[in-house]
C-alpha cells in the first residue's frame, strides 16, 4: 500500500507546462456622452465627457490648437486650427499639408479610405481612415474655404498594434464623428 501511494504521488506531481497564447486586456468602454468646448476658441464642437481638454504642448503649437486626451485609452485627438483670412493661397497650403500628413502613412498602411461627409448643419468634412499598423488611424479636415480651417488626428500613446487597439479606435472614431457633426464657427 505504501509503495502504491508513493508511485501514485510520483506520477501525480508530473506537470506539463504549456505557454499561454498572447492575449490583450479587455477594454470596458463607457457609454458615449458629450460636452461643449469652452467659448474661448473660434470654433465650437462637442467632445467626449470621458476625455480631458488640454492645450497643445507640441513645439510648433499655435494659440487655438488643443488636444482631447482619453486617459483610460492613452489616446489623443490633436486638433489644429488656422485662420484663412479669405486667402486662397492659405487654403491650398493647409489642404496640401493635410494630404501630405495622410500620405506619410502610405508606407505602413494597407488602405487609406477618404470620404467626404456633409454634416447635419451643411458643413463639409474630409475623413481619412487609415488601415494597418499606422500611427494615426483616423484623421479629418474641415473648412468653410474662406475663414476657418480645422484638422484633427487620432494618436495612441502605445505600441502600434491596431488589431488589439481596434475597440478603442472604433470608440474614439464615434466620438470624432460626433465632434465633426457638431462643429460650428464662432467668428
pLDDT (average), residues 62-90: 96
Query: Which domains does the chain show, CATH number per domain?
Result: 35-185 (3.40.1000.10)
Digit-coded pLDDT (tens) for 24-38: 566 789 999 999 999
- How much is the pLDDT for 173? 97
What count of other Cβ atoms lies within 10 Å of the Cβ of residue 115? 10
Mean pLDDT score of the chain: 89
pLDDT value at residue 2: 61
CA-wise closest residue to 92 among 43, 143, 152: 143
CA–CA separation, 77 and 81 (whole Å): 13
Q: Which residue has the higher pLDDT, 60 or 94?
A: 94
Exposure of 98 in the CB half-sphere (CA atoms within 13 A): 27
Mean per-residue pLDDT for 8-17?
A: 58
Confidence of residue 17 (pLDDT cuts 50, 70, 90): low
Over residues 76-81, the mean pLDDT reads 97
pLDDT in tens, 111-144: 999 999 999 999 999 999 999 989 899 999 999 9
Identify the pLDDT of residue 38. 93
**β-strands 124-132, 75-83: how paired?**
unpaired
Task: Please give the residue that has the higher pLDDT: either 66 or 15.
Answer: 66
Amino acid at each position: 500500500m505504501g509503495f502504491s501511494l508513493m508511485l501514485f504521488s510520483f506520477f501525480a506531481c508530473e506537470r506539463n507546462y504549456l505557454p499561454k497564447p498572447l492575449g490583450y486586456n479587455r477594454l470596458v468602454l463607457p457609454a458615449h456622452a458629450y460636452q461643449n468646448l469652452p467659448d474661448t476658441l473660434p470654433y465650437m464642437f462637442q467632445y467626449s465627457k470621458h476625455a480631458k481638454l488640454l492645450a497643445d504642448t507640441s513645439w510648433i503649437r499655435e494659440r487655438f490648437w488643443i488636444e482631447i486626451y482619453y486617459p483610460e485609452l492613452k489616446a489623443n485627438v490633436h486638433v489644429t486650427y488656422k485662420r484663412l483670412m479669405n486667402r486662397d493661397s492659405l487654403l491650398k497650403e493647409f489642404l496640401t499639408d493635410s494630404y501630405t500628413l495622410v500620405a506619410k502613412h502610405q508606407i505602413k498602411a494597407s488602405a487609406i479610405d477618404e470620404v467626404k461627409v456633409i454634416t447635419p448643419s451643411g458643413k463639409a468634412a474630409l475623413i481619412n481612415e487609415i488601415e494597418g499598423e499606422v500611427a494615426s488611424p483616423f484623421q479629418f479636415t474641415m473648412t468653410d474655404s474662406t475663414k476657418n480651417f480645422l484638422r484633427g488626428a487620432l494618436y495612441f500613446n502605445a505600441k502600434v498594434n491596431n488589431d488589439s487597439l481596434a475597440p478603442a479606435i472604433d470608440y474614439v472614431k464615434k466620438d470624432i464623428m460626433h465632434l465633426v457633426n457638431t462643429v460650428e464657427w464662432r467668428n
